[in-house]
Amino acid sequence: MPKGQIRKALSGFYYVKDGDRFVQCRGRGVFRNRQISPLVGDFVDYEAENDREGTITHVHERKNELIRPPIANIDQAILVFSAKEPDFHPLLLDRFLTVIESYDIEPVIILTKMDLPDAEEKERLARYSEDYRAIGYEVFHVMKGDESLAAELLPLLAGNTSVLAGQSGVGKSTLLNTLLPELELKTGVISDALNRGKHTTRHVELIEVNGGLLADTPGFSSLDFNHIEKEELSGYFPEMAERSPACKFRECLHTNEPKCAVKAAVQSGGIPEYRYTHYVQFLEEIMERKPRY
């Protein structure tokens, strides 16, 4: 049976890439009964009706799946935050990082507009960048007119299925236009997607770029923790996950428990205090969530 990957979903059709061709497919009716909804990024089996049309018969197991945007099997999230206008907020970045980690997606952090802050602000941003690099995240700084940008960032896309995310106004579309001028000329879709109006048809599409796939989507619109349990949260903070096994209690929440290795690391400076503060805020949010039945 032929196999392929869904690269676009639109108006009830799924466009499956199989080798060098696209096959327009419908989902099998039985999927609805089983509450299975094929997603862009899914690897599927399909029955070919002819060279251009078919029916999806099986969806292979997913590495991960997102609800907003509806997409599966993402390897990497490129998080775009501005240094200024709007100002950089580590709380919002940590929220993105926590959600992305929970879906087993590798984050990459890009700080744009690094030519705007004054010397004192640049020093503060440099400290944040070093903190996140020490945790294990890649952090890139982008300045206006940086001609080396494409050479530095395009390799990130190779071999990965990536989604772009970040708050409004941080320069995502400018970044894409700098990185992918040839894609802009070919399709005109990615930059448009980042500025879609509320009443414009929205769809998700994976586009081949530099040996990888980039999702044509406005990015994460859901940053809640409804899918995360309180015992899981610290596992999505890599520096806490590393130290948790040394805590006295196996399900230590790193708040009031004695002999907590995470709190000890905060006190010694091994974990930035602001990261721990954000963790406690997120934990309180999860614990105040209404029970699900």
- Which residue ranges make up each domain of the chain? 3-61, 71-216, 233-287
pLDDT value of residue 182: 52
Domain at 71-216, CATH from 3.40.50.10490, 3.40.50.300, 3.90.226.10, 2.40.400.10: 3.40.50.300
Q: Is there a contact between 81 and 132 (Cβ–Cβ < 8 Å)? A: no
pLDDT value of residue 74: 96
Smallest CA-to-CA distance from 180 within 220, 144, 216, 205 is with 216
pLDDT value of residue 34: 74
Question: How far, in Å, are 36, 109, 227 from residue 279 at the CA level?
Answer: 34, 19, 16
Q: Which residues are within 8 A (CB) of 242 and not within 5 positions of it... i.e. 6 or more apart?
A: none
Q: Helical H runs in the chain?
A: 30-33, 90-102, 119-135, 149-153, 172-179, 181-186, 190-193, 238-243, 261-268, 273-287
Q: Provide the CB-side half-sphere exposure for 68 (13 A, CA).
A: 5
As given in the structure block, the two tokens for residue 209 are: 């770029």
Q: Is there a contact between 163 and 219 (Cβ–Cβ < 8 Å)? A: yes
pLDDT along the chain (293 residues), means of 10: 93 92 87 80 93 91 88 93 89 95 94 90 96 96 74 87 79 67 46 42 79 78 85 97 95 95 96 98 92 62
Q: Which residue has the tokens 């099997």?
A: 73
pLDDT value of residue 290: 72
Angle between helices 261-268 and 273-287 (to 10 degrees): 140
CB count in 10 Å sphere of residue 273? 10
Specify the DSSP class assigned to residue 291. P
**CATH H superfamily, domain 3-61:** Nucleic acid-binding proteins (2.40.50.140)
pLDDT value of residue 66: 87
Q: Is there a contact between 216 and 208 (Cβ–Cβ < 8 Å)? A: no
Strands 106-112, 138-141: pairing kind: parallel
- In this structure, which topology does domain 233-287 adopt according to CATH? Ribonucleotide Reductase Protein R1; domain 1 (1.10.40)
pLDDT value of residue 27: 87
